[in-house]
Amino acid sequence: MKAYVESDEIAMMGEATSNLRDKLLIRTLFHLGCRISEALTLKVEDIDFTQGTVAIIHLKARLKLSCAGCGQRLGRYHVFCPGCGSKVERAQAEQQEHRRQRVLPVDGDTLSMLKDYVRRGGPVLRDGKKLIFGINRHRAWQIIKECAQKAGLPKLVNPETGKVHNISPHKLRDAFSVNAMKRDDSGDGLRMLQEHL
């Protein structure tokens, strides 16, 4: 068993469905290396068809911990406050949502599929936004799993735990990273990959 999906296997997943939306979901996750939440919030206005780019809004929530006594910022495992020295019984938690925008190049095939999909009226209008996919996370997971099964792809094994898993949307993001490193394993390639993700 393998730990990641190869690019030819992802092509097989795309061929396993005749639904343009599903093909596009697979291509978007793999060719852009985006998170499922980022793909599902992708809007028509985020695509620049003339430049061949897509603006991905990076959404990630983080907790900021601080000492209840002095307000000093704390790490997850602090036992004593570095500011006032008191024992940390209960830290104050404040959730912060980090938003960052990445503008990513889109390969020609994916861009032409996007144009065709938009032209055919594929995007879904929801809350005044034209969403490319208009599906929820659960349905996206089902699509990826079903396409992998139809393509006859084996399940993947986690090399650290030995657990066997179905191919999921995040595994396509992992495959993007692995393929990028195979193409350029220099320090520059790694730095560019970190900026991309």
Name the phi and psi angles at 196, rounded to 5: -65, -40
- From 99, 119, 148, the end of a domain falls on 99
Residue 184 lies in a domain: yes
Tell me: do 196 and 141 sit in the same domain: yes
> Of 99, 127, 148, at which residue does a domain stop?
99
Residue 4 covered by a domain = yes
Q: What is residue 187's predicted lDDT score, i.e. its pLDDT?
A: 56
- Residue 50 is assigned to a structural domain of this protein: no
Same domain, 188 and 155: yes
67 and 30 belong to one structural domain: no
pLDDT value at position 79? 83
For residue 107, being part of any structural domain is answered with: no
Tell me what pLDDT residue 178 has: 83
Total number of domains constituting the chain: 2
pLDDT mean over 144-166: 92
Judge if 190 and 141 occupy the same domain: yes
Assess whether 33 and 82 both reside in one domain. no
Lowest mean pLDDT among 1-10, 134-143, 156-165, 174-183: 174-183
Distance of alpha carbon 57 from alpha carbon 60, whole angstroms: 10
Determine the Cα–Cα distance for residues 56 and 140; give it in Å rounded to an integer. 18
For residues 142 and 191, membership in a common domain is answered with yes
The domain in which residue 84 lies consists of: 59-99
> Per-residue pLDDT for 56 more than 60?
yes
- Residue 164 inside a domain? The answer is yes
Tell me the pLDDT tens digit for each residue of 105-141: 999 999 999 999 999 998 899 988 999 999 999 999 9
User: What's the pLDDT at 78?
Assistant: 81
Does residue 148 fall inside a structural domain?
yes
How crowded is residue 28: how many other Cβ atoms within 10 Å of its Cβ?
Answer: 26
Count of other CB atoms within 10 angstroms of residue 94: 10
Residues 191 and 155 in one domain: yes
In a domain, residue 113? The reply is: no
Residue 141 sits in the same domain as residue 197: yes
Segment 9-17 shows an average pLDDT of 95
Q: What gap in Å lies between CA 93 and CA 4, rounded to an integer?
A: 36
